Chains A and B, each alone.
With several copies, the nearest count.
Chain A
Amino acid sequence: MDFNYTEEQLALQDTLRRFIARDYGFEHRRESAKSTDGFDRSAWKTFADFGILALPFPEGFGGLNGNAVDTMLVMEMLGRGLALEPYVSTVVLCGGLIRDAGSTEQKETLLPAVAGGELMLAFAHFESGSRYAVDHVATTATANGHGWKIDGAKAVVLGAPSADKLLVSAKDGKGISLFLVDAKIPGVTLRAYPTQDGARAADVKLAGVQVGADALIGTAGNALPAIERALDYANAALCAEAVGIMSALNEVTLEYLKTRKQFGQPIGKFQALQHRMADMVIATEQARSMATLAAVRADSADAAERSRSVAAAKAYVTQSARLVGQQAVQLHGGMGVVDELNVSHYFKRLTMIGLTFGDADYHLGRFSDTLTMPHECF
């Protein structure tokens, strides 16, 4: 039982905290969101320098052999900074998929490029009409003499507009497979848009897209377990990001309660608001506990235990984030619903986290369905 970060982890946390505070202020973030890419490519380079793009990869492939707790730490800091860079898409999801499902050659080619910040990836998996079902893939892959032909459409692919390559899930005869698809080749069309929280995504059409045999990640038809793992890992990362945001939002709100005056006193003197703030703090501490659980269990070899814990954490953290986000806005009054302050941006990002890779009800359902089985409490 140990709730401490290691010395190295603390050092990395400190580095990121200082970077966010000094070089990733709110106005900088606003400019980045408006730029063509929708994020800051120089920040991405800095991330590479910090090593966080190499974090979850094995040392043999240019990585740092980090675990999900390392990722938690990074995500919490990125959350505080409302970082727009597609870290989850490129590193956590696609990097993780290649690490878990790719061939040695693919890992050798791709992971160092991700780690170095030269290769950006996006995971084109969910489809319209499938909602959050992980195993629903209508996109098809047909083997032919040149490799594979892929047809289908993918919905709301996060990070796609800036991705060099897409990891596309598709069904062949046997099951679900993963293909590495260059975003610029014929047949691939993107309709890009910003997301509500200022990031970028795209709907992706794949019409007779021809890729070589080497585009197949790992072996054909066996990608589902790796996809499930990657999404659990990503959801654990989102939990940590949410906790970072909630902490920051509580700080901002507490400061507002202490400085905003009405009826001749700081509004933080009103007991109803004090108790609201107390509930926000409680929710955040509880969410932090669950995000910790998710991080520790995301690395578990037992898939059922991993999924159950991550589902529990995502459901709970989303509920907590809803309370904290909504109440931070409410306690700010009019200042909570304007674009000018960071409050509304934190709130929007928290809301979108809750709707990414499964909403609270979806994850509650996953967890609830395990209840008939015997378990220790966590």
Chain B
Amino acid sequence: MDLNFTTEEQLFREEVRGFLRAKLPAEISHKVLGGKRIEKSDFVRWQQLLNEQGWGAIAWPEAFGGTGWNAVQQHIFDEECADAGAPMQLPFGLKMVAPVIMEFGNPAQQQRFLPHIVDGSDWWCQGYSEPGSGSDLASLTTRAVREGDHYTVNGQKTWNTLGQYADWIFCLVRTSTEGRRQKGISFLLIDMKTPGITVRPIIMLDGEHEINEVWFEDVRVPLENLIGEENKGWTYAKFLLGHERTGIAGVGRSKRELKKLKEIAATETTNGRPLIEDQRFRDRIAQVELELMALEITNLRVISAEGEKKRAPGPEASILKIKGSEIQQMLSELQMQALGHYALPYTEEALEADWPGDPWMPDYADYAAPLSGHYFNYRKTSIYGGSNEIQRNIISQMILGL
């Protein structure tokens, strides 16, 4: 039982830090740390820089161009990237469709798609949810009908994140209506440039365009874009949902946001003293820090155990999701609360990287501007990726056997 990192792990951490110092563009980390809007180009540029280093796909096996790092190394990398202000690597290609392609795709699919994920040239998005099927995914109705050498797809997907930039979408589609609902689902890869696809923005409550509806009208998808076998898509979908593991707790990002919260509370004053010296507010920070300390160790316990392959992933993934999202939400709420009056203004232009700040407002109003929006936006974290209610169902039913 040892909570210290080994010498090798510490050296690895130094290596990651050195890389970040040398290669992470300041204009990108400025945006991330300042809560600015991150552009497509930022995500792609960072992915390219990582790829040049050979670190484009940290969780993949080396055979597919991954690093082969163990879970603790991946955790250290995540943590350092978050702390330095690297943009998140979007999961849709790297952590979602890629493992499915590696496990169930054929060699041609693997060669076609995987390298373009690592080098950032293909932007992937997800086509799972539909207006009528959210938590109840298996009720999906988007139809794919086999006609000669292709499927014809008709239907509508929603809660599609950043699909406005996407080159490819992976979709669950219904290829049969016989038997159990789960039996008639297939897993298709669809080129977003195919005629008949329409992407319509959904504006989030913070005013941002982050998600979309995707409409399919007689969209022709070559048979070769089917993953695995027809009507077996539910198996691949469950594999995908159960696969993403490191990073689900978001510990690295939450540690960064905790640091930011403390900085804000040290800057904002009340009765002439820094807010952090107000015991009532400091106790609130302390309480969320306790949660995060516990989660960091729980997370390490989970990934260490998995790293040793001693057992299959357990209820821990759901615990990490629930606690991770709750902590993100608490942090964003306290950041907003810390601002006092400056939690109120909605200054959209402050989300632009080149916003010069406003001479009218006090200095801290600059970093303040995005924070209430973040609080609103982060309500999604207990909803997406299987709502926290679904996670509690999983814990109680799948694990506890209730």
A and B touch in the complex (CB under 8 A): yes
Query: Known interface pairs A196-B376, A289-B298, A296-B2. Does A155 touch B293 (Cβ–Cβ under 8 Å)?
Result: no
From B202, B205, B295, give the contact of A286 (CB < 8 A).
Answer: B295
Cα-based distance from A352 to B383 in the complex (angstroms): 22
- Does B315 touch A at the CB level, under 8 Å? yes
B396 touches A275 (CB 8 A): yes
B400 touches A254 (CB 8 A): yes
B1 touches A330 (CB 8 A): no
A residues 63-117 touching B (CB-CB < 8 Å): 69
- Does A15 touch B at the CB level, under 8 Å? no
Query: Known interface pairs A203-B360, A286-B295, A344-B376. Does A333 touch B1 (Cβ–Cβ under 8 Å)?
Result: no
- Does A326 touch B at the CB level, under 8 Å? yes
- Shortest distance in angstroms between A345's beta carbon and chain B's nearest beta carbon? 8
Residues of A within 8 Å of B318, CB to CB, are: 278
B400 touches A336 (CB 8 A): no
- Which of these binds chain A: B60-68, B108-116, B335-343? B335-343
B139 touches A351 (CB 8 A): no
Against A, the Cβ 8 Å flags (1 = close, 0 = not) of B329-353 are 0000000110011111111000000
- Shortest distance in angstroms between A234's beta carbon and chain B's nearest beta carbon? 14
- Does A142 touch B at the CB level, under 8 Å? no
Query: Known interface pairs A333-B135, A368-B279. Does A293 touch B361 (Cβ–Cβ under 8 Å)?
Result: no
- Shortest distance in angstroms between A38's beta carbon and chain B's nearest beta carbon? 11
A132 touches B340 (CB 8 A): yes
- Shortest distance in angstroms between A169's beta carbon and chain B's nearest beta carbon? 14
A337 touches B205 (CB 8 A): yes
- Does B283 touch A at the CB level, under 8 Å? yes
Against B, the Cβ 8 Å flags (1 = close, 0 = not) of A340-369 are 100011011001100110010100110111
**Chain B residue at minimal CB-CB distance from A273:** B389
**Chain B residue at minimal CB-CB distance from A375:** B289
- Does A271 touch B at the CB level, under 8 Å? yes
- Which of these binds chain A: B22-30, B92-100, B191-199, B269-277? B269-277
- Does B373 touch A at the CB level, under 8 Å? yes
B360 touches A201 (CB 8 A): no
B residues 380-400 touching A (CB-CB < 8 Å): 380, 382-384, 387-389, 391-393, 395-397, 399-400
**Size of interface on A: residues with Cβ below 8 Å to B:** 89
Cα-based distance from A341 to B210 in the complex (angstroms): 17
Query: Known interface pairs A274-B397, A333-B135. Does A351 touch B280 (Cβ–Cβ under 8 Å)?
Result: no
- Shortest distance in angstroms between B348's beta carbon and chain A's nearest beta carbon? 8
A378 touches B279 (CB 8 A): no
- Shortest distance in angstroms between B357's beta carbon and chain A's nearest beta carbon? 12
Most A CB contacts (10 A, CB to CB) among B287, B296, B297 go to: B297
From A1, A275, A290, A351, give the contact of B375 (CB < 8 A).
Answer: A351
B residues 258-307 touching A (CB-CB < 8 Å): 258, 262, 266, 268-271, 275-277, 279-287, 289-298, 300-301, 304-305
Query: Known interface pairs A203-B361, A368-B286. Does A356 touch B304 (Cβ–Cβ under 8 Å)?
Result: no
Residues of A within 8 Å of B277, CB to CB, are: 372
A residues 190-242 touching B (CB-CB < 8 Å): 191, 193-196, 201, 203, 205
Residues of A within 8 Å of B294, CB to CB, are: 286-287, 289-290, 316
- Does A279 touch B at the CB level, under 8 Å? yes
Most A CB contacts (10 A, CB to CB) among B135, B258, B396 go to: B396
Residues of A within 8 Å of B388, CB to CB, are: 330
Cα-based distance from A329 to B134 in the complex (angstroms): 15
B289 touches A377 (CB 8 A): yes
Residues of A within 8 Å of B271, CB to CB, are: 131, 133, 136
- Does B41 touch A at the CB level, under 8 Å? no
- Does A281 touch B at the CB level, under 8 Å? yes
A316 touches B158 (CB 8 A): no
From A2, A131, A330, give the contact of B382 (CB < 8 A).
Answer: A330
From A3, A279, A368, give the contact of B305 (CB < 8 A).
Answer: A3
- Shortest distance in angstroms between B72's beta carbon and chain A's nearest beta carbon? 5
- Which of these binds chain A: B4-12, B46-54, B119-127, B167-175? B4-12
- Does A141 touch B at the CB level, under 8 Å? no
Against B, the Cβ 8 Å flags (1 = close, 0 = not) of A310-334 are 0010011000000000100110011
Cα-based distance from A196 to B1 in the complex (angstroms): 34
Query: Known interface pairs A201-B345, A334-B134. Does A361 touch B281 (Cβ–Cβ under 8 Å)?
Result: yes
Cα-based distance from A277 to B293 in the complex (angstroms): 23
Cα-based distance from A359 to B336 in the complex (angstroms): 11
- Does A145 touch B at the CB level, under 8 Å? no
- Does B312 touch A at the CB level, under 8 Å? no
A1 touches B3 (CB 8 A): yes
- Shortest distance in angstroms between B52's beta carbon and chain A's nearest beta carbon? 29
**Chain B residue at minimal CB-CB distance from A6:** B1
- Does B31 touch A at the CB level, under 8 Å? no
Residues of A within 8 Å of B402, CB to CB, are: 254, 257-258, 266, 268-269, 273-274, 277
A334 touches B360 (CB 8 A): no
Residues of B within 8 Å of A182, CB to CB, are: none
A195 touches B346 (CB 8 A): yes
Cα-based distance from A337 to B158 in the complex (angstroms): 13
Beyond A196-B344, A371-B289, 10 additional contacts (C-beta under 8 Å) are A131-B275, A254-B402, A257-B402, A278-B318, A281-B400, A289-B295, A334-B159, A359-B340, A367-B289, A372-B266
Would you give 10 A-B contacts (Cβ < 8 Å), ordered by A? Answer: A4-B1, A128-B365, A131-B268, A205-B360, A257-B402, A274-B393, A274-B396, A274-B400, A292-B301, A337-B205
| B interface, CB within 8 angstroms of A | 1-6, 9, 72, 129, 132-136, 139, 158-159, 202-205, 207, 211, 251, 255, 258, 262, 266, 268-271, 275-277, 279-287, 289-298, 300-301, 304-305, 315-316, 318-319, 322-323, 336-337, 340-347, 358, 360-362, 365, 372-373, 375-377, 379-380, 382-384, 387-389, 391-393, 395-397, 399-402
The 5 A-B residue pairs with the shortest CB-CB distance, nearest first, are: A344-B205, A274-B396, A289-B297, A368-B286, A191-B360
